[in-house]
Amino acid sequence: MFAVWPEFLRPFPLPKVVVGLLTMALSALSQVPVPVPINTDTSSLSTSLFKNNNVSFHNKLWTSGLCLDSNIANSRLKKRFVVCMSVQQASKPKVGVSPLSLEDAKEPPLHLYKNKEPYTATIVSVERLVGPKAPGETCHVVIDHGGNVPYWEGQSYGVIPPGENPKKPGTPHNVRLYSIASTRYGDSFDGKTASLCVRRAVYYDPETGKEDPSKNGVCSNFLCDSKPGDKVQITGPSGKIMLLPEDNPNATHIMIATGTGVAPFRGYLRRMFMESVPTFKFGGLAWLFLGVANGDSLLYDEEFSKYLRENPDNFRYDRALSREQKNRSGGKMYVQDKIEEYSDEIFRLLDGGAHIYFCGLKGMMPGIQDTLKKVAEQRGESWDEKLSQLKKNKQWHVEVY
């Protein structure tokens, strides 16, 4: 930070060389635009002296100001310092959220809308998340519920795709559950949207190798093909198993995901590291293991990498890329291989009360369970007894589909 030459120092004479250097420095600095947040108290700043331009940092509106040369400051800022924030400092504050009344509920909202009476929400946006070399397509779908279907981090929405159920003509399709990939405030931080992480389900005939649209996933294709303004029938919210425990803000949370199973963890991490929530100040450790096919398949990687840079003491992030990385045995790298790699540390954290979460395809769990059992036996422990204790202590959270 830097300041315009203060009034009270002018009576003291300084050598001309010093005065000249200070003038040159202030003149040079006056050419550097520095953002000042609009929603910060700027009563001590003479904002009318700034040339204003709007820029965006972390979805917040900021105004950039030019620090003034000493002549303008002397004539317009009497007995006052003008302190300009550096860009680095301006980018650090967390995003404000509203309405904070969403923090008041003592219990999570459950089943506000049932299958027979769903809520009609609106598609805000659909964005492809993966690169060209990813096997398949995964989309980030933002839905506007108008604040009428509130939820907590770790819960799910049900989605009823349009059309008739082919197995029950005249009736709607069955509801499909999707883990919510945003905090209760949504991607717009106003409590009116929810985000889903959806992989398009496509079926290929094993004999011909061609796509068979008649067997494609009805709901996933509907969501991925949706356009802004389209209507969508949602139910819920549902689920309590994956709720983020917040009674201890300094707790450790170990999150293990495959593919779209990362959805609830994105919500956790945004709440921990992105949002300014007065009632929840995270000071513990969040450790994410994400398993996907390759680098192009990584989901929300830029977001997670940013948390890692800005919160190195509170966040760890390990990727398992099955088609690009090898495990210790030379085979494909899956999340269970990463777990084995850090097994001593993970078991130590669990013994200290850490919560561990698993979310993704059902097929992920047998391999993970086998790995944990093997590690426990190598440590001279009974995995069955340890698992029983983890469940009893409510440290074990699993949601697979």
Sign of CA dihedral 374, 380, 382, 388: negative
Asked if 304 and 219 count as a contact pair (C-beta separation under 8 A), the reply is no
- Active-site residue flag, 178: yes
Asked if 38 and 27 count as a contact pair (C-beta separation under 8 A), the reply is no
Question: Annotated catalytic residue: which of 178, 185, 268, 357?
Answer: 178
Asked if 82 and 68 count as a contact pair (C-beta separation under 8 A), the reply is yes
Which residues, 6 or more positions from 90, have their beta carbon under 8 angstroms from its beta carbon? 34, 35, 36, 37, 57, 62
- Active-site residue flag, 401: yes
How many angstroms from the chain centroid is the CA of residue 325? 25
80 is in an annotated binding site: no
323 is in an annotated binding site: yes
199 is in an annotated binding site: yes
Alpha helices in 195-262 (DSSP H): 218-225
44 is in an annotated binding site: no
Q: For 140, list phi and psi in degrees, rounded to 5.
A: -100, 115
- Active-site residue flag, 224: no
Side by side, the strands of the sheet bearing 252-258 are 315-321, 285-292, 252-258, 355-360, 396-400
177 sits in which H/E element? strand 176-179
Question: Annotated catalytic residue: which of 84, 153, 157, 399?
Answer: 399
360 is in an annotated binding site: yes
- Active-site residue flag, 246: no
194 sits in which H/E element? strand 193-199
Asked if 244 and 350 count as a contact pair (C-beta separation under 8 A), the reply is no
- Active-site residue flag, 388: no
Asked if 259 and 298 count as a contact pair (C-beta separation under 8 A), the reply is no
Question: Annotated catalytic residue: which of 113, 151, 157, 179?
Answer: 179
381 is in an annotated binding site: no
128 is in an annotated binding site: no
Burial code (b: 16+ CB inside 10 Å, e: under 16) for 203-234 equals: eeeeeeeeeeeeeebbbbbbbbebeeebebbb
237 upstream amide cis, omega within 30 of 0:
yes
* Amino acid (1-letter code) at residue 330: G
Per the annotation, binding residues for NADP(+) are 179, 199, 260, 322-323, 332, 360-361, 399
Q: What residues are labeled active site?
A: 178-179, 359, 399, 401
Residues annotated within the binding site are: 179, 199, 260, 322-323, 332, 360-361, 399
